[in-house]
Amino acid sequence: MRRWTAAICAAGAVYAGLMCVAGATVTRPVVVAATAMRRGDAVNGDMFRVVEVPADAALDTALSSMEDVADDGIAQVDIAEGQPIFDAMIRGSPVTPDGFTVIEVRLASAVDALMVGDTVSLSSAMGCAAGDDAHDDAHDDAEISCLLAERALVMSRFKELTALAMPPEDALRVMTSQEAGAIVAVAKQSS
């Protein structure tokens, strides 16, 4: 019976000691990414969460509350899910993603519906062959409209032109098609 009592007392002492050490660990709130984000993505508050982490000097400049996160910011770097968020990682204006170029486009669609940082696709009513000199006049229904750019990032809006970032091959198609006819921007759903 003494051995059982001694074992139970020892286990209780170890448990109490561990609880004291765990209780002495200072934690702090840190904002982390709830989902992965790419450089240039528009961000909102739903993409972040606050977690408690052990306090460390390395996290002194990390965001600590959801009020610190800009609702209309743009990711300045690739951000992994669960990564702590620092102020320089998000800002109010978009950054041109790697491998993209920026061109100004005259859009036929309502520019006021677009926000800086939105991702859109661009379509032409004239068809993909509209800018080609070698195309014939006979078009079938499949060639009436054409997807010019799958992903274009709204960089800025002006009265008549919209600056859009997109891959260079898409930019060439857009520049050729914009001389031939109307180009519309189609908003992409946030995922």
Report all structural domains of the chain as residue ranges with CATH numbers, in order of start. 25-91 (3.90.1210.10), 101-187 (no CATH)
Q: How many residues belong to the chain?
A: 191
Q: How confident is the model over 50-103, as pLDDT tens digits?
A: 999 988 899 999 999 988 887 778 888 899 999 999 988 887 777 888 899 999
CA distances (Å), origin 185, targets 37, 67, 70, 74, 111: 23, 32, 25, 20, 8
The pTM score is 0.54
Torsion of CA 185, 97, 162, 116, to 10 degrees: 90
**Measured between alpha carbons, how far is 100 from 86 in angstroms, rounded to an integer?**
25
* pLDDT classification of 156: cutoffs 50, 70, 90: confident
